[in-house]
Amino acid sequence: MQLLDMSNNFSEIFNVRAIGKNIFVTHSSALIKYDRPIFEHGNMKRYSSSNSIIFDYETKGSIHVNLPDLFPIKFVDQFIDIHGQFYIVATDFMQHTCLFTSSDRSSYFVSVTCDLAKRTFYNCPILIHPNLPGVIFANINHHSEETHTHISTNDGLTFQQIKIDNRKSVCVDGFCDTLMNLPCEYISTDHFVKEWFITISEHHNLGYDEHIVSYNGGKTFKVFPHSEMDIKSINGGGITVGFAIISCKIIYSFDEGKTYYNLTISDKPEIIYKAMTIGKNENERIFIYGRDRDATSLFVTHIDFTYMFKRPCDKTDYTPWTLSRSRGTCFQGQEVFYWKKKINSMCIDTHAASMNFTKPCPCYIEDFQW
């Protein structure tokens, strides 16, 4: 693989022996796992495949990845460039899958955690919150026990097992273990509508998936009842909507899952196969696409919840929210608050992005990876 700088008379930046499946591209950098010759005699060459390089789009510079000793890379499972850090999930020749990070985007990485679940075609071992620095979701398998999803709120220094609030279950106190489907590729607004609001699916031990939602930044989740498709939300996460495909109904909540309502879309035997949100603020709608059982006709329905809201939200309709972390609400010298719409405020949230304010707080060495 040869990389050339077109803005500098096609000068060579680097030239390595690599194939497509070993190239991981992000919005600002790319990681290339390549083979380096370690022995050459005549026409005979022997290569080492445990080498990786990161190329930065802006600086057009590259760095060689240095993982801790005794971790020869067999596979790179994930490469993430986010919140000013590099994250790498890699598997060695002993089939250990571990997470590493470089907090200053340098070539030197430290180990965060191991015993991660193996990557599959659709699901990855970890998922990093795109809006809350330091929040990592990870599917961890301790000592060959069952794999469960954990959360870290301090950039991987500690992990706690996530619980699902499912009062209808037989789990202890109604809180169950979970194994989430952590997507490798996704549109952030599909799963992270707001800093505190997350939608995702979990894999049930009986072989089916359930859709779950968190209203507190991922500390706990709730099962969204009867939804057989990805959950949608409108009004800045204030209205949560699920879809019953076969019965052609929507299930929705205005109060973070305390109360659910349902609405039949069609009295005919039709099936929902897709839903999407269109528009913003007072023009925001949910469009639902369906078909009949014989797949001979299609239908499109749009749901407008905004007619219930008589006014845009004002400052009295919001309350400050911050994530509770391992050391309280302070993280790396900052305490960040987001203005969250109150549950009982029936108004239109006109803010495209979350409003926030920051307070300085004590900074501890334990807040950083070393």
100-119 confidence digits (pLDDT tens): 999 889 999 999 999 999 99
| 213 contacts 248 by C-beta, under 8 angstroms | no
Q: How far, in Å, CA of 300 to CA of 26, rounded?
A: 35
Determine, yes or no, domain membership for 267.
no
| Residue recorded with tokens 């301790």 | 142
Determine, yes or no, domain membership for 97.
yes
Question: Both tokens of residue 134?
Answer: 């330091």
60-79 confidence digits (pLDDT tens): 888 999 998 778 888 899 99
Check residue 189 and give its pLDDT.
Answer: 80
Determine, yes or no, domain membership for 239.
no
Determine, yes or no, domain membership for 3.
yes
Those residues with Cβ within 8 angstroms of residue 96's Cβ, 6 or more apart along the chain or in another chain: 71, 114, 115
Amino acid at 202: E
Q: How far, in Å, CA of 23 to CA of 41, rounded?
A: 29
How does pLDDT run along the chain (370 residues), one tens digit per residue? 655 666 666 566 655 665 556 889 999 999 988 876 555 655 655 555 578 889 999 988 889 999 987 788 888 999 999 999 999 999 998 899 999 999 889 999 999 999 999 999 889 999 999 999 999 999 999 876 789 999 999 999 999 999 888 766 667 777 888 999 999 988 888 899 899 999 999 987 767 788 999 999 999 999 998 888 889 988 888 899 999 988 889 999 999 999 999 999 887 778 888 999 998 878 889 999 998 888 888 889 989 888 888 789 999 999 999 999 988 899 989 999 999 999 989 898 888 778 899 999 988 777 776 6
For strands 220-223 and 209-214, give the pairing. antiparallel
3-state helix, strand, coil in the chain (%, to 5): 10, 50, 45
Q: How far, in Å, CA of 26 to CA of 117, rounded?
A: 22
| 125 contacts 119 by C-beta, under 8 angstroms | yes
Count the domains in the chain.
Answer: 1
Cα radius of gyration (the chain): 24
Backbone angles phi, psi at 367, to 5 degrees: -80, -5
121-157 confidence digits (pLDDT tens): 889 999 999 999 999 999 999 876 789 999 999 999 9
Residue 93: give the domain boundaries.
1-114
pTM above 0.75, yes or no: yes
Quick one: CA dihedral 325, 329, 333, 335, positive or negative?
positive
Determine, yes or no, domain membership for 153.
no
Amino acid at 22: N
Question: Both tokens of residue 354?
Answer: 């979350």
Strand partners, 25: 30
Sheet containing strand 175-176, strands side by side:
175-176, 163-165, 220-223, 209-214, 198-203
Q: How far, in Å, CA of 314 to CA of 42, rounded?
A: 76
Check residue 286 and give its pLDDT.
Answer: 93
Check residue 146 and give its pLDDT.
Answer: 86
Determine, yes or no, domain membership for 274.
no
CA 61 to chain centre: 28
Rounded to 5 degrees, what angle do the CA atoms 61, 65, 71 make?
Answer: 175
Determine, yes or no, domain membership for 311.
no
